[in-house]
Structure formats: structure tokens, C-alpha cells
Amino acid sequence: MSQKVISAEKRAFMTGNEVVAWAALAAGAEIMYGYPITPQNEIMHYWTRLAPKYGRSFLQTEDELSAGFTTAGGVMAGRKAFTATSGPGNTLMQEPMSMAEMMRLPTVVVVQQRGGPSTATVIYSQQEVTLTTIGGNGEGMRIVYSTATHQELFDYTIKAFNAAWKYRFPTFVLGDGYQAKMREPLTIYDPAERGIGMVPPEPFVGKEGIPGEDRPPAQYRNTFNLEEELYEKVMADVSEYEKIAPEVAEFQADGTEDADLVLVCHGVVFRAVREAVAKLREQGRKVGYFRPVTLRPLPVRQLREMVGKAKKILLVESAYGQLARLFKEAAYGSGTEILTLFRPGLGITAGEVEAKVKEILT
Amino acid sequence: MSPQPAMPRSWRVDTKPHKFCPGCGHGLILKCLGQVIDELEIQGRLIFGCDIGCSLLSWDFFNLDTIQTHHGRTVPVMTGLKRARPDLLCIAYMGDGGGYSIGAQHLVNAAARNEKITVILANNTQYAMTGGQMAPTTLPGQKTETSPYGRDPELTGFPLQGPEMVGAIGREGVYSARGSVGNLRQLRRFLKKALENQIEGRGFSFVEALSACPTNWRTNAVETWSFIEKEMPKYFKTGEIKVPGAGREEVANG
């Protein structure tokens, strides 16, 4: 690979989109394919300025279908390739990512959520959870990291490339417009300096030798003739996905052991929830939080353990129950009461969370 | 001498006989392509991409690394591949529905960006795999499952002129031609020039091949050839539409 991107660990103050571009460079991403949509544009802007300095490439495609399918072509060529999108672009992205799921392609997609449905707002939401975790005509065999801070955007963008190339399931970093556009301090670093080994990419096609003479041809398809043939293929992937799920799943929890109420949230909303929980604890309220970092796969075992002990659950999200649907499926069978604070397309403050908790615990 | 001519070396023998219907044009196009691949000796660095529709049946046709993609999306997959590995040669193989309808934006933009890939498109004037629906290339008056009384240009327009469109979009470096399974010598020549255009790094290359679908046309052998040689050329002129370095076009008709 070309020269080192980040020679020494350093503090930086930048927007989330800039963070993603630096993280992709640090992770050794070789090519980005992208189509303009707010609020992810600056990922492309920073990438197109930085990439040539490090021998990396960029292609602006005609739409997100093309951005996704060129990314698929890029990874099949054996290059670490990625794209970024949002909202209606994420809708189009589902077609190429369903092919990536079927063909087990290590694509990386950064999603900066905007409001929905439709074009809605360019600002913020958590309304792309369903689409990003289980969108497409498939079984949702994907890895989705939902970040809350710029440090996490950096850490998990690097991790996304490793997860994709290690497990060969399409991998997503799920951010949002707030994270994309806000400036915040973080530490950027070279993964090797932190002892993080990067999984090397490997070509699917175009390997050494003449196919059929020196080696069998590498032939990839997503079309099957027989139901049984497809069933076996999908079930083999399902069983592999279920096997890796416990080691992929990540979460953060605090104060859940003795809690009267556990708040469940993800992404940037976690910042408000963590602050509210700290305040409420200071006031002697028995509250805690449980925050899945991976929305696919969810940390199911730990989630069920938590739900088993909790007296009540409060689900908080900037959507009308998209995390809630995933959560309830994982928690199915528990009798614990689940309450909700849904603010589709709207930011949530610590004060609002605190007030809601007090209303519940009066 | 063997009673039948030998298969191209680049064909994958263990997947023959191929999966196309009797009388289908794909086998002829892919035979020409196989011969050109052999002649250019590019089997070791050529990636073959195929679309959805009958073209997908070519996913294991060659002894080539192959990617079967989605309907209309073979151009972007091969574009992504080529951009990531410029040392490879990339072919996107598709039908007229994939190239001119659902994937038209990809074809147009790949030609406009002068992507260094080769697109080969079989034009059989309808959607064959799905049972014979009208396509952008269906001839006026031609009956299909979605134009059962014949295509009415008042309602649904005239047959789309693919190589002419690519020729109009493409700037210097673009190669665009239309051949036919009715003239294999010419088709082979166009395919060779298209691939040479990519090998020499000049730019985008595009060959439409007039093809046959007796299954959906519901034609016998005589009617099939008559359709290819007499009906289709009324709207689709064979020849080279754009050749890098002006003045070298091979202009022919039928």
C-alpha cells in the first residue's frame, strides 16, 4: 500500500463526514464510488481531495444503483471499496446490497440518515434502521454498526472494512445528519499503531492463470434454478451468520442490574440517554441504559438477560418504532413492560428523556 | 477433419450443450465472441459479466471468470471492476431490455464517461426470458405479450436505436457498431474491434448484435431468418456507427 495516512496518533476537530473519509483512508480503502445526496456529500468531498495524495481512486456514478453495483465490482476485483448514501439513495442501495448479501460480497456502505419517508428532510433521523438492517429482498444477513460519536465513526468505519472482509457479509456504518455535519473532537490514528490488524482484501475474479487451463474459472451468480438449490444456499449462509453473530454483536450497558427502568436506544440518541441516566442516577432514580452498537446482528443473549431482569423498558428513538421492532423480536416472550418515546425525524434531548422517565416513575 | 468445427478454446466444454433454446441467437454471438477471445489470446485477463434475462444463462458458458449480476446492472458492476483493476479486460453481456430499458442510465453514462469496458448486447426485439413482452426494440406492428395487437408507435414509440445513441453520446475513443447473427463474419470483426478498443485503452466499446428468438417469435426456421434478414434491418442498420479515428467506419446495410 501507499504511504501511511496518519503517521502519529493525534487529536482532531472535524465533522463526521470528514472523520469517515479519514477513517476509510486509514483502513486502507482503495476506491470510493458515490452519488451526491445530503447529508453524506462531504464524505466524497474530503475523499476526492485526500485520495489522490495516497494513490486512491474515486468514481462519481450516475445514481446509487450504480454506486452500489460499482462497489460490488470493486470488491470482486479484490479492492477495498466503499460508498456512502442516505434516504432515497439508501432505498436504491438496497438492490445492489441484496446482490452483495447473496454473493457474500464485502461491501462497505456508510449511511448518514436523513428524514423520511421520501425526500423529507436533509437533516436528521433514525428512520433508515429497517432499510439498513433488513432492507432488500433477502434475509438481512448484514452487519450494521450504529455510531454515537465521532470517535466511534472513526473506530467503526475502520472496523467495518475488517468485518466485511473477514465475514463476507455486506457491512454498514449507520450514522445520521447530526453526526455527519457536526464538528467534534476525536483522536485519529493508524490502526497498526493501535495493534489493529487490517484484513487483507482478496480478488474474487482475475486471479493468476488462465481459467480452465491453470485453474477452474471463478464464476459467480445470484440466480438459481431450483427451490432446493436456493434453500441450501440460503440456509448455509444463515447458519454461518448465526454462528458469527455473537462475536460480531456489540453493546454498551450501565445500571441495568438494579434498574426500575432501562432505557434502550442507539446511535446519536444514546448521547441524550446517557446524560439523562447520569442525572437521574444522581437524583437517586434506579435507571440504566442498554445500547446496541450492532443493530444487525443484535446482541441477543445480553439483551434477553437484561430484559429478564428489568422491571420496565423505555425505547427511545428518532423514528416511529424501527429499533423497537428489532428489539421486541429479540426480547419476545418476556413479560417486561415496554414503553416508548418515538420522535420520528426529530432530535431528542437529555431533558426530554429525563422528563419522560420522571413521568413513568412517578 | 472432424464433422463439426471445433468449439472455441475459451468455451467451457463441460457446460455444453448450452442452455439456450434451439434456434436462439445467443449461441452464435457467444461463438463469435469465443473465437475472438481465442484470436486475441485474452482468456487470462478477461472478466465476463452477464445480465438477467436469457443472457444470464451464459454465466458458466466460458472458461472465463464470470459475474452474473442483476437486470440492467452489468455495466456498473464491470465499470466498478475495471476502475478498481484497470489491467483487466471487462465485457458486459446483456439483452435489449437490460441495456436499453432498465439499465439505460448505466449504458448512457458509461458511454459518456468513456468507461474502458466492452458492452455486447443481443437484440431480439423483446423480453425473452420473461415470456415475450414488448421491449424498447420491438418493431412497429410486432405482436408481443404486452402488445398483443402489434406495437403501436403512437402509443409506445419506435424501436430504440442503441448503437446510434451510444455513437451520439460517445466522444473520441468510443467504438459503436451493430452486427447480426445473419452475418457472423462481420459480427466477429466488430467484436474484435470492440475488444481491441478496450485493449488499446481508447475507451468505451459497444456492439449490438441482431439476434433471434424463435421461441417467443413463434417462428419456424425460414420465418426466423426472414425476420432477422428482412424485418429487423428496416429499423436496425448493421455497420459501424462510430470508430475511433474518423473515416474508418465500415458502413454497410443488412
Which range, of A1-10, A27-36, A84-93, B100-109, averages the lowest pLDDT?
A: A1-10
What whole-number distance in Å separates Cα of residue A66 and Cα of residue B83? 13
Cβ atoms A92, A64 nearer than 8 A: yes
Global ipTM:
0.96
Determine the pLDDT at residue B254: 41
Q: Is residue A201 one of the residues assigned to a domain? A: no
pLDDT band per the 50, 70, 90 thresholds, residue A1: very low
Q: Establish, for the pair of chains A and B, how many residue pairs have beta carbons separated by less than 8 Å.
A: 140
Q: Is residue A353 one of the residues assigned to a domain? A: yes
Residue B135 Cα, gap to closest chain A Cα (Å): 22
Residue A2 above 80 pLDDT? no
What whole-number distance in Å separates Cα of residue B197 and Cα of residue B86? 14
Q: Is residue A100 one of the residues assigned to a domain? A: yes
Are both A336 and A256 inside the same structural domain?
yes
Residues of B numbered 185-244 whose beta carbons fall under 8 angstroms of chain A's beta carbons: which are they? none
Q: Is residue A208 one of the residues assigned to a domain? A: no
Count of domains observed in chain B: 1
Q: Parallel, antiparallel, or unpaired: how do β-strands A183-188 and A10-15 relate?
A: antiparallel
Are both A273 and A130 inside the same structural domain?
no
Are both A328 and A185 inside the same structural domain?
no
- Cα A166–Cα A171–Cα A175 angle in degrees, nearest 5: 135
Are both A180 and A258 inside the same structural domain?
no
Q: Is residue B211 one of the residues assigned to a domain? A: yes
Are both A57 and A186 inside the same structural domain?
yes
Residue partners of B2: CB distance under 8 A and separation at least 6? none
Q: The domain spanning residue A321 has which CATH number?
A: 3.40.50.920
Are both A64 and A186 inside the same structural domain?
yes
Range of the domain at B88: 15-242
Residue B251 above 70 pLDDT? no
Q: Is residue B84 one of the residues assigned to a domain? A: yes
Q: Which residue of A has its CA nearest to B10?
A: A212
Q: Is residue B10 one of the residues assigned to a domain? A: no
Q: Which of B60, B88, B106 sits opposite A219 (nearest CB)?
A: B60
B6-36 per-position pLDDT tens digit: 899 999 999 999 999 999 999 999 999 999 9
Are both A148 and A257 inside the same structural domain?
no
Q: Is residue A334 one of the residues assigned to a domain? A: yes
Are both A190 and A257 inside the same structural domain?
no
- H or E element, residue B62: none
Packed helices B74-84 and A64-76: angle between N→C axes, nearest 10 degrees: 50
Residue type, position A146, single letter: S
Residue A290 above 50 pLDDT? yes
Determine the pLDDT at residue A246: 98
Nearest to A234 by CA among A69, A107, A104: A104
C-alpha grid cell, residue A300: 441477543
Q: Is residue B8 one of the residues assigned to a domain? A: no
Packed helices B104-112 and A64-76: angle between N→C axes, nearest 10 degrees: 70
Q: Which residues of B touch A221 (CB under 8 A)?
A: 56, 59-60, 66, 68
Domain end, chosen from A194, A216, A231, is at: A194
Q: Is residue A234 one of the residues assigned to a domain? A: no
Question: Exposed/middle/buried for A35, CB within 10 Å: 0-12, 13-18, 19+?
Answer: buried
Q: Is residue B1 one of the residues assigned to a domain? A: no
Determine the pLDDT at residue A317: 98
Q: CA–CA distance from A104 to each of A60, A74, A81, A99, A100 (Å)?
A: 24, 14, 14, 8, 5
B41-66 per-position pLDDT tens digit: 999 999 999 999 999 999 999 999 99
Check if A79 contacts B (Cβ < 8 Å): yes
H helix runs in chain B, sequence order: 26-40, 74-84, 96-97, 104-112, 153-156, 162-169, 184-199, 214-217, 221-226
Cβ atoms A299, A249 nearer than 8 A: yes
Are both A186 and A295 inside the same structural domain?
no
Q: Is residue B167 one of the residues assigned to a domain? A: yes
Check if A65 contacts B (Cβ < 8 Å): yes
Q: Which residue of B has its CA nearest to A217?
A: B65
Average pLDDT of chain A is 97
Q: Mutate which of A101, A210, A213, A224 to disrupt the B interface (most B C-beta within 10 Å)?
A: A210
Q: The domain spanning residue B184 has which CATH number?
A: 3.40.50.970
User: Rounded mean pLDDT of A139-144?
Assistant: 98
Handedness of CA A41, A47, A52, A56 (dihedral sign): negative
Helix, coil or strand: residue B67: strand
Determine the pLDDT at residue B245: 84
Residue B226 Cα, gap to closest chain A Cα (Å): 33
Percent of chain B exceeding pLDDT 90 equals: 94
Are both A97 and A168 inside the same structural domain?
yes
Helix, coil or strand: residue B61: coil
Cβ atoms B56, B93 nearer than 8 A: no
User: Rounded mean pLDDT of A308-329?
Assistant: 97
User: Rounded mean pLDDT of B102-123?
Assistant: 98
Q: Is residue B247 one of the residues assigned to a domain? A: no
Cβ atoms A304, A319 nearer than 8 A: no
Buried b (16+ CB within 10 A) or exposed e, A262-293: bbbbbbbbbbbbbebbbbbeeeebebbbbbbb
Q: Which residues of A touch B10 (CB under 8 A)?
A: 212
Tell me whether residues B73 and A70 touch, CB distance under 8 A.
no
Q: Is residue A53 one of the residues assigned to a domain? A: yes
Are both A346 and A264 inside the same structural domain?
yes
Query: Per residue, what are the HEC states of chain A?
Result: CCCCCCCCCEEEEEEHHHHHHHHHHHCCCCEEEECCCCCCHHHHHHHHHHHHHHCCEEEECCCHHHHHHHHHHHHHCCCCEEEEECHHHHHHHHHHHHHHHHHCCCCEEEEEECCCCCCCCCCCCCCCHHHHHHCCCCCCCCEEEECCCHHHHHHHHHHHHHHHHHHCCCEEEEEEHHHHHCEEEEEECCHHHHCCCCCCCCCCCCCCCCECCCECCCEECCCCCCHHHHHHHHHHHHHHHHHHHHHHCCEEEECCCCCCEEEECCCCHHHHHHHHHHHHHHCCCCEEEEEECEEECCCHHHHHHHHHHCCEEEEEECCCCHHHHHHHHHHCCCCCEEEEEECCCCCCCHHHHHHHHHHHCC
Tell me whether residues A220 and B80 touch, CB distance under 8 A.
no
What is the phi/psi pair of residue A49, to 5°? Answer: -80, -40
Tell me whether residues A69 and B80 touch, CB distance under 8 A.
yes
Nearest to B86 by CA among B191, B170, B203: B203
Determine the pLDDT at residue A316: 98
Q: The domain spanning residue A72 has which CATH number?
A: 3.40.50.970
Strand order in the sheet with A251-254: A251-254, A287-292, A261-264, A312-317, A337-342
Residue B124 above 80 pLDDT? yes
- H or E element, residue B56: none
**Residue pointed to by grid coordinates 488499446:** B200
Q: Is residue A210 one of the residues assigned to a domain? A: no
Nearest to B213 by CA among B194, B227, B193, B199: B227
Count of domains observed in chain A: 2
Tell me whether residues A62 and B109 touch, CB distance under 8 A.
yes
Check if A203 contacts B (Cβ < 8 Å): yes
Residue B252 above 80 pLDDT? no
Omega before B140 within 30 of 0, i.e. cis: no
Q: Which residues of B touch A107 (CB under 8 A)?
A: none
Q: Is residue B95 one of the residues assigned to a domain? A: yes
Domain end, chosen from A129, A160, A194, is at: A194
A73-125 per-position pLDDT tens digit: 999 999 999 999 999 999 999 999 999 999 999 999 999 999 999 999 999 99
**Residue pointed to by grid coordinates 458469527:** A244
Q: Which residues of B touch A136 (CB under 8 A)?
A: none
Nearest to A180 by CA among A303, A54, A320, A46: A46
Residue A32 above 70 pLDDT? yes
Cβ atoms B107, B75 nearer than 8 A: yes
User: Rounded mean pLDDT of A198-215?
Assistant: 97
Q: Which residues of B touch A65 (CB under 8 A)?
A: 73, 76, 106
- H or E element, residue B126: strand B126-127
Helix, coil or strand: residue B239: strand
Range of the domain at A292: 251-360
Determine the pLDDT at residue A362: 85
**Residue pointed to by grid coordinates 441516566:** A277
- H or E element, residue B205: strand B205-210
What is the phi/psi pair of residue B244, to 5°? Answer: -55, 135
Check if A55 contacts B (Cβ < 8 Å): no
User: Rounded mean pLDDT of A7-16?
Assistant: 96
